[in-house]
Amino acid sequence: MKSTEPASIELKLLKSILWVYIVLCIIIAGLNFGYVSRATPAVAAFITWLWGFYENWVKTLFIVIGSFLTLRIIGSSQRTAMRKRNLIGFMSMALVVHILGPLLLNNKELYFFAMPLPWSTIPLQLLDTGSAFYLKYLPIFGLTGISLALIFYLIITIVVFAGTLLFGRRWQCSTLCLFNGFAAEVFDPVIPLIGKKKKVTAKGLKIFAILRWLFFALALCFTFYWILILLGMPMAYSDAIAKIENYKYLTAELLMAMFFWIAFVGRGYCYYCPLGTVLGLVGKIAGQRINTNLTNCIQCGRCNAACPMSIDIKSSAKKGSDVSELRCVGCGHCVDSCPQKTLAYATHFLEKEKHQP
């Protein structure tokens, strides 16, 4: 009984932190994106400050505390090598994007520039001097601030895509992503908040596959639209297009991601994230896979139970064949859960590094 009490307390604390994060995020984001434009200047300034403080400092604090709680919860029950690396990556990324970056560049909304195309077209909108986004933030950032934000975005983009070519989709989706990836890892022991963890059915996977390519096509449309504007093509309704993309972010992405955390699975949004789709394809080039032949598989099924993306690893392990699945986020939960140490996460680069003398 004594050995289970600390874990129970930590689970309750972790669950409370996630509930607070979700509720405050919905309230403050609603005020920031929906009410600021109608508020008095003083109230609008306070809401903007509150959103920046919450999204940067409070979120980072939750990530750090949640990571340590999760490691304590799972530490005694299984190996945690892969998950430790995930959590260290998310804590480091949060400190860079939410704390150090904003302080150094004097830009509290730098996190908007930490997700490469085609997930968000905000960097492209900031390059268009006639866009509503540029006109809104020019008085706040100034030309120097805008330039620094774009340089930061370029660096993040290079880091994400170069890292994915070396380490596969794991690099972004299970180490750097501060949109959905961090929550799926940091709060994994208590997701979903209501009910028990559910595996996606075969029908559900087909629906998610349709959503994946639908959201990917939609993201490409937004991207090409702003590229055409930057190339000098006369395009109408730019303000309306920007608003539509913003509403898409708030509803189909932010709110849906949180719904998945509450009632479904932490990685729900990862099934159809446009950037994740692109990085999944890049991961194919990188040779991303799960090796299943390091030892003899005993078909215990723990890998399938641990996988947050409902990938059938067990069947491949029975044959000793590699698992190369587009929706694999490289979290390594299957690797950590295997009692036989049969599994290993690999890419072309990682294989070469392993065989270096």
pLDDT digits (tens, 9 = 90+) for 197-249: 888 899 999 999 999 999 999 999 999 999 999 998 888 888 889 889 988 98
Task: Copy the structure tokens of residue 53.
Answer: 């403080």
Distances (CA, A) of 346 to 111, 128, 166, 180, 301: 30, 41, 10, 23, 21
- CATH 3.30.70.3270 residue spans of the chain: 287-354
Mean pLDDT of 329-345: 95
Eight-class DSSP state of 200: P
Write out pLDDT tens, residues 77-113.
567 889 999 999 999 999 999 999 999 998 888 888 9
Cα-to-chain-centroid distance, residue 183: 8
pLDDT at 3: 46
Euclidean distance between CA atoms 187 and 184, whole angstroms = 6
Euclidean distance between CA atoms 350 and 271, whole angstroms = 25
- Band the pLDDT of 138: cuts 50, 70, 90: confident
- Residue 325, phi then psi, degrees to nearest 5: -120, 130
Write out pLDDT tens, residues 178-192.
999 999 999 999 999
Eight-class DSSP state of 291: E
What global pTM score does this model have? Answer: 0.91
Nearest to 238 by CA among 252, 247, 250, 225: 225
Local structure of 298: helix, strand or coil: coil
pLDDT at 6: 55
CATH class as words, domain 287-354: alpha beta
Amino acid making up residue 81: A
pLDDT at 77: 54
- Residue 346, phi then psi, degrees to nearest 5: -145, 155
